[in-house]
């Protein structure tokens, strides 16, 4: 510890470019939202899409609470959960990890390990896919498929990604149509087993990838006949695979530990 400075230890991990800080819940300061905003800042903090606060739990390997980079709380991140599984496997040599999230218990099964990269398949539960939701946005009609993966998504199918897709996604989030907020995915169907996505998440903005976003995009593509299981979901940060087995959705993808360190709280 640096002399005269209070610090909080952290581990940084990334899943297809979706990066998270993993911190023991016992280390949390008084205002967890303000601290998360500070440590996630990419200029004056460590930089991340969010913090997974980790707590011991009697009937799971660990319990996690996800706070987004803007200080808001989210039910779950598929990629963030996989980052926590990677950390636990590196510390305890586990093959299967049970993680309690805000969207329920999720089990991550280790399927491959290459150097410092771990690949897991995670049972994500069921995808609730609703009929197409259309509404006016500044005089323009927006069409998309609402999906829940334990958190809310709105999936828009496009032939090509709009140049202003980020601004459009932000306007959709601010439209008032989604009372709990919403993660927005633009999806281009490339083949029956391949889709490309662009992702704009609640509390973060554009992200390089998303586990639940990949699942929601694949589920919407399957439901509308644009894809068949398994679906490879190609995002800016990498590729994940989503498959359906009965009513359940499974997500497979890599994660890796990036670094560990201490964040200075000040004198």
Query: 44-70, pLDDT tens digit by residue?
Result: 999 999 999 999 999 999 999 999 999
> Phi, psi at residue 34, to the nearest 5°?
-65, -40
Where do the CATH 3.10.310.10 domains begin and end in the chain?
Answer: 6-123+254-266, 128-246
User: Rounded to whole angstroms, how far apart are CA atoms 49 and 6?
Assistant: 24
The more confident residue out of 116 and 188 is 188
pLDDT per position as a tens digit, 196-218: 999 999 999 999 999 999 999 99
- If you average pLDDT over residues 79-83, what whole number do you get? 98
- Per-residue pLDDT of 216-240, as tens digits, reads 999 999 999 999 999 999 999 999 9
Q: What is the pLDDT of residue 267?
A: 46
pLDDT exceeds 90 at position 124: yes
Bridge-partner residues for 187, per DSSP?
A: 157, 197
Contact 222, 230 (CB under 8 A): no
Domain 128-246 has CATH 3.40.50.620: no
What does residue 186 show for φ and ψ, rounded to 5 degrees? -95, 130
Mean per-residue pLDDT, 131-136: 98
Homologous superfamily, domain 6-123+254-266: Diaminopimelate Epimerase; Chain A, domain 1 (3.10.310.10)
Between CA 18 and CA 88, with CA 128 as vertex, the angle to 5 degrees is 35
**pLDDT given at position 156:** 98
């Amino acid at each position: 510890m640096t002399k005269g400075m209070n610090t909080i230890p952290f581990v940084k991990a990334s899943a297809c470019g979706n990066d998270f800080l993993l911190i023991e819940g016992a280390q949390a300061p008084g205002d967890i939202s303000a601290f998360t905003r500070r440590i996630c800042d990419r200029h004056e903090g460590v930089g991340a899409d969010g913090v997974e606060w980790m707590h011991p739990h009697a009937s799971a390997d660990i319990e996690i609470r996800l706070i987004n980079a803007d200080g808001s709380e989210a039910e779950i991140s598929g990629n963030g959960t996989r980052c926590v599984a990677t950390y636990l496997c590196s510390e305890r040599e586990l093959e299967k990890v049970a993680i309690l999230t805000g969207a329920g218990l999720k089990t991550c099964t280790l399927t491959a390990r290459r150097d410092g990269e771990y690949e897991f398949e995670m049972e994500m539960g069921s995808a609730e896919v609703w009929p197409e939701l259309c509404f006016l946005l500044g005089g323009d009609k927006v069409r998309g498929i609402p999906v829940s993966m334990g958190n809310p998504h709105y999936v828009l199918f496009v032939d090509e990604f709009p140049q202003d897709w980020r601004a459009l996604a932000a306007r959709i989030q601010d439209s008032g149509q989604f009372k709990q907020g919403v993660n927005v995915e633009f999806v281009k169907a490339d083949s029956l087993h391949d889709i490309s996505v662009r992702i704009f998440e609640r509390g973060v903005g554009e992200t390089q990838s998303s586990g639940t976003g990949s699942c929601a995009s694949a589920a919407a593509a399957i439901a509308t006949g644009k894809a068949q299981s398994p679906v490879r979901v190609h995002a800016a940060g990498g590729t994940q695979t989503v498959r359906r087995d009965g009513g359940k959705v499974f997500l497979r993808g890599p994660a890796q530990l990036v670094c560990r360190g201490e964040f200075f709280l000040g004198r």
